[in-house]
Chain A
Amino acid sequence: MNDVRDLSHFVEHLNGGIARLHLAIDGMTCAGCMFRIESGLTSVPNVEKARVNLTNRRLAVEWRDGTLDPAQLIDRLAELGYKAQPFDPERAEVAEAHDAHFLLRCLGVAAFAAMNIMLLSVSVWSGNLSDITPEQRDFFHWLSALIALPAAAYAGRPFFYSGVRALSTGRLNMDVPITLGVLLALGMSVFETLHHAEHAYFDSAIMLLTFLLAGRYFDQNMRRRTHAVASNLAALKAEMVCKFVSADEISEVPVVAIRAGDIVLVRPGERLAVDGVVVDGRSTIDQSLVTGETKPLSVGKAANVYAGTLNISGTLRVRVDAAASGTLLDEISRLLEKAIEARSRYVRLADRAARFYAPAVHLTALATLFGWIAVGASWHDAIVIAIAVLIITCPCALGLAIPAVQVVASGALFRAGVLLKAGDAIERLADVDTIVFDKTGTLTLPDPEVVNAADVPHHVLVLAGRLALASRHPLATAVARAVRAKAPIDGAIEEAGRGVRACVNGIEMRLGRPSFCDAEAQAAAVARQDPEASAVAVAYGEERHVLSVRQRIRPDAAASINDLRGQGFAVEILSGDRRQAVEHVAQALGVDNVRTGVAPADKIHRIEELKRAGRRVLMVGDGLNDAPALAAADVSLSPVSAAQLTQAAADAIFLGDTLAPVAAALALARRAKRIMRENLAMAVLYNAIAVPLAIFGFATPLVAAIAMSGSSVLVTANALRARKLAEKATRWKF
């Protein structure tokens, strides 16, 4: 069957007859990939431009409109070895890119002004010690004002807007003392310059803005990066669906283009991308990703089928049913919404610090003002000193303390195979003391595997693998994968629902159900050993063998779980699967705390019960039935094979076949949080030294400049230590 893929939904039409498509690319790991993709695509006729963005792993292709089918580009990428999916850049992402540009422009202006003013200030400071005349000093101060005032008006906007917004809703945030400090410093400096004073604080105000904008930009950059990861994952998960465009013609279209009432074709081995009702055909369906239940379910006409389930044996025609109320998926979506609403908003470390910092700063400045007046200073001197206190306490190092660590730690997590989707997830991960695992697809690998390959003669197994390539049945796929079969056997015939047969070197060979291969006795023997496994029989001439196929536990699961428990985490299994299936895994991993046959709502209840008991819960799960529990937990992880809805609910995604990234993420997060605390402590220490100096009137612009830049550099350098652990945990070199 030759499909027509219709990607027109994603194509942008630009001016000048150019069409553009944005693609999320999977498997792009290094600069070499970037060159291969770009040169591989520009060699396609009519392609005008192909530009890879290595930072967020995306590609923009432009071609002359109407000259080629965008599906060709995806095929070309597949030839090159990359999986690509088109996507719409989300509106939120566009707005964020805009914000990031704005911040960077502000940062550029502030940095330019800071450099030029510092040039003038250093002249004044050295001149004050030698032979500068008051006229020359005034001239330099006025020049500084000329640069500083417009620069602050431009570059200070992110803080001014946010500070005013906070005040108008009756709150105090970090931007209020910043705004006040900058405005007062500039105002006072203009006043002092008018009166030919020795000190002006133009440099302090602008330097403060520069450092704070750098911190703000880091923070924003991190948020953009996590969002890009999230939408790439969503795009790569979005499946294509075979839709009937007329009674007997099909076309392959993206899921987003499917409407209720459409009829779609689902072939064996395909995962359903929609909810609906079977209108024609019979098959068995694997619901493990939806419910955690590993036993296949047989469906026929009028049966309800759900997105995320896997069609195993027969071809189905499904009528899409968008308003599937009262269904399992509907129930899960409802629970998910509730869980997200109820998620107690975690107060970030920085916000907690700000809450007490802003009032403390203002009170100190006010106390200084009245203190100096009380001891008989003039109003002018008292105000100048009070403003110096405000300037020196401005949270310069504080503004960098946390974003710098976040950026470094998220990079380290990325290299350890963990993609963050929420910026504050690092802080929440660091607090975890209880880990709840789902079983199917989380502790076990998502795809079934042959577990008794050693019991079958190798040449028979290799032939069986090649024969298995003729079928898309998941069990056949597992057999083919077991021997990495690549060469299909000629003339293989699939008998739907039974198996595959072919003639190999004049000997008849069959692969399929035990009854199809006349191997029921051997199958019964295998079933006695491992009742949970599925049996695939092989008949080769007179030989009969039975392969036992099951979801295997992740290779390092036992070691990882042991390791986690050794570190003092409480570990629990919460599965929707049957008791027998879960217990086998629990025993192998040595986990006693097991709950089986748990419905999605009960998973939430259990997690809430743990939270009420004061536990900080990390939920690790991949099924649709886990999605609400992921949202209800304090923090959540999903393997990259998880269902789309589940990944959307998780705070981070981990890659690969092992559970090692879970432990690495926890260790890195703890380290990152410790460094964040250290940074905050450093910022406090800085204040403990600088504030008394300012209160007693020694905070000249020179002192302010040294204190501010010194503490900022120290905090940033400390943040770089969050990288260190990563080298041990690094598994994914990019």
Chain B
Amino acid sequence: MEVLIYLVPMALALGILGLVAFLWSLRSGQYDDLEGAAWRAIMDEDHAREPRDQ
């Protein structure tokens, strides 16, 4: 059971990492527009830049 000495802190650290990542994404406004974000993922980069190149 000595393995717990490594496993428990590791589990906690991973959990906290996840939480920090969530809080960061929240702070950077990634939850402000859930509908739009869904579509941005499939946005064609070239197509979006086209007018700028013209």
Enumerate chain A residues within 8 angstroms of B50, measured Cβ to Cβ.
39
What residues of chain B lie closer than 8 Å to A42, measured between beta carbons? Answer: 51-52
A34 x B39 contact (CB < 8 A): yes
In the assembled complex, which residues on chain B have CB atoms less than 8 Å from the CB atom of A101?
Answer: 26
Residue A452 lies at the interface, judged by CB distance under 8 Å to chain B: no
The distance from the CB of A4 to the nearest CB of chain B, in whole angstroms, is: 28
* Chain A, interface SS category: helix
Given A35-B43, A55-B35, A104-B26, verify A116-B52 contact (CB < 8 Å): no
Q: Are A53 and B33 in contact (CB under 8 A)?
A: yes
Rounded to whole angstroms, the CA-CA distance of A31 and B32 in the bound complex is: 16
Which secondary structure dominates where chain B touches chain A?
A: helix
The CA of A34 and the CA of B39, in the complex, are separated in Å by 9
Q: Which residues does chain B contribute within 8 Å of A191, judged by CB atoms? A: none
- Asked whether any CB of chain B lies closer than 8 Å to the CB of A109, the reply is yes
| A:92-137 near B, CB below 8 Å | 101, 104-105, 108-109, 112, 115-116, 119, 136
B8 — which chain A residues lie within 8 A by C-beta?
143
Pair A116/B11 contact, Cβ less than 8 Å: yes
Q: How far is the CB of B8 from chain A (nearest CB, A)?
A: 6
The reply to whether A53 and B15 form a contact with Cβ atoms under 8 Å apart is no
Most central of A39, A52, A104, A115 by chain B CB within 10 Å: A39
Name which residue of chain A comes closest to B15, CB basis: A116
- Contact (Cβ within 8 A) A43 B52: yes
Residues of A within 8 A of B32 (CB): 53, 55
Mask of A147-178 contacts with B, CB within 8 angstroms, 1/0: 10000000000000000000000000000000
- The answer on a CB contact under 8 Å between B15 and A55 is no
Residue pair A55, B22 in contact (C-beta under 8 Å): no
Inter-chain contact A54/B36, CB cutoff 8 Å: yes
Say how far A104's CB is from chain B's closest CB, in angstroms.
6
Determine if B36 and A112 form an interchain contact, defined as CB atoms under 8 angstroms apart: no
A-B contact count (CB 8 A): 59
Mark out the residues of chain A between 1 and 59 whose CB falls within 8 Å of any chain B CB in the assembled complex.
31, 34-35, 38-40, 42-43, 52-56
Also in contact, A35 and B47, with CB within 8 A (given A53-B32, A53-B33, A119-B11):
yes
User: Which B22-49 residues have C-beta < 8 A from chain A?
Assistant: 22-23, 26, 31-36, 39, 43, 47-49
From B15, B47, B48, B54, A112 is in contact (CB under 8 Å) with B15
Q: Are A136 and B19 in contact (CB under 8 A)?
A: no
B12 contacts A by Cβ under 8 Å: yes
Most buried by A among B8, B33, B43, B50: B33
A139 to B9: give the CA distance in the assembly, Å. 13
Question: What is the minimal beta-carbon distance from A435 to any residue of chain B, in angstroms?
Answer: 32
Taking the nearest CB of chain A, how far is it from the CB of B13, in angstroms?
11
Q: Out of B31, B35, B48, which one reaches A54, CB within 8 Å?
A: B35
Tell whether, in the assembled complex, residue B34 and residue A39 are in contact, meaning their CB atoms are under 8 Å apart: no
Asked if B3 is an interface residue, CB under 8 A from chain A, the answer is no
Instruction: Give A147's nearest chain B residue, CB to CB.
Output: B12
Q: With A and B bound together, what is the CA distance between A126 and B26 in angstroms?
A: 36
Q: Shortest beta-carbon distance, B10 to chain A, in Å?
A: 12
Q: Are B33 and A108 in contact (CB under 8 A)?
A: no
Chain B residues lying within 8 Å of A109, measured Cβ to Cβ, are: 19
Q: Contact between B43 and A112 (Cβ–Cβ < 8 Å)?
A: no
Q: How distant is A29 from chain B, measured CB to nearest CB, in Å?
A: 12
Docked complex Cα distance between A510 and B49 (Å): 50
B33:A43 contact, CB within 8 angstroms = no
A residues within 8 A CB of B11? 116, 119
Minimum CB distance partner of B27 in chain A: A101
Tell me whether B34 and A55 are in contact (CB under 8 A): yes
- Chain A residues in 8 Å Cβ range of B39: 31, 34, 54
Given A34-B39, A116-B12, 17 additional A-B pairs, CB 8 A: A34-B36, A35-B43, A38-B48, A40-B51, A43-B52, A43-B54, A53-B36, A55-B35, A56-B33, A105-B26, A108-B19, A108-B23, A112-B19, A115-B15, A116-B11, A139-B4, A143-B8
* Top 9 A-B pairs, shortest CB-CB distance: A31-B39, A54-B36, A112-B19, A53-B33, A43-B51, A54-B35, A108-B22, A39-B51, A55-B35
7 A-B pairs in the complex with CB atoms less than 8 angstroms apart: A31-B36, A34-B36, A55-B32, A55-B34, A55-B35, A104-B26, A108-B19
Please give the residue numbers on chain B whose beta carbons come within 8 Å of chain A beta carbons, in ascending order. Answer: 1, 4, 8, 11-12, 15-16, 18-19, 22-23, 26, 31-36, 39, 43, 47-52, 54
